[in-house]
A and B are shown apart, each in its own frame.
Chain A
Amino acid sequence: MAYSKTQLTALVALRMLIGWHFLYEGMLKLLTPEWTSIGYLRGAQTFKGLFGWLSSESMINIVDWLTIAVLIAVGISLLLGIFTRGGVILGLLIMALFYLAQPAWPGMEAVGQAEGNYLIVTKNLIEFGALWVVFLFPTSAFVGLDMYLTKRNTAMA
């Protein structure tokens, strides 16, 4: 896919903004041993069975570690542009879960400490949309470590 220089710049910037956000969140949670996702999960407004199971005593440690691992992996993937396709898919999945736990659908109470007011569209949903764009307009073959992997593959082909 051919992008103009400005298009490429904008798309790389978008990818890296999201990457920064994921990596910083993941690192902060990693460095805060008392952090846990249990409050978020127990406050879930949809799929209460699923989120209740995730926050059960037997699951919560695994869920907390997975959350941190996914946030950091997606962050590094998007920032460095490495294994970006896989990173974006993982990012889309976790954003979907974040959104579904607190989706701000009509009739639902606004919970959590998020600032601002939302109906259906929350910041999580917007980040999900942005990731979708990053997925459909890949840039890591031009700016990012994937360019080495891609080239090697091309050369090999």
Chain B
Amino acid sequence: MARLLLIEDDDPTAAEIDAELTLRGFLVARAADGPTGLCRAREEPWDVLVVDRMLPGLDGLSVVERLRNEGIRIPTLILSALGGIDDKVRGLRSGGDDYLTKPFALAELSARLEALLRRPTESRETILHVGPLELDLVEHRAWRGTRALELVPREYELLGYMMRREGQVVTRAMLLEDVWHYRFVPKTNLVDVHMGRLRRKVDSPGEPPLFTSVHGVGFILRATT
């Protein structure tokens, strides 16, 4: 079970997050202000931190900064009501690993925490394997079993991103940010259309589907169904 420290001063929000993440198998502890949070983060072994940006006593960014300065590298997600680009940049610069703007879907939060916990290691591998899938990052070629897949450049990137996160829920917002590097939410179902194309190429009729949609959240690529 992943041990998670939630540093959040707003009780109802904290209770919701606590309940949702406990359900999803996290072991959640909570600190209600900056100094307490900093203390607990230092003293106990955590797998992941969720830090609200506005905290009494010591603000969230300072908490993260101090931990990083002390050499504590626990993966950290910053929550904030400040959604500006500059706010986000500042949040990540202070040492946060991910930044989520309030209000957010609880599913989005848990998907991102999952991603933080299972962050792909920076491997030097140039060929990725997931079940029958094989992706050559150098040659830009992909196969499912023996069948070569005809992909456009963006689809190689998308497939690579999914393969590195095998078995994890990947949200639309994560894809927009990480694959397209877009910082806005299209009003059209842009991500679904691209994902649909990739899925149709990867999962031919008759083959066991590797991609699964998670209703209202995103997509999962699984080696086995």
On whether the two chains bind one another, the answer is no
A: which residues have CB within 8 A of B? none
B interface residues, Cβ below 8 angstroms from A: none
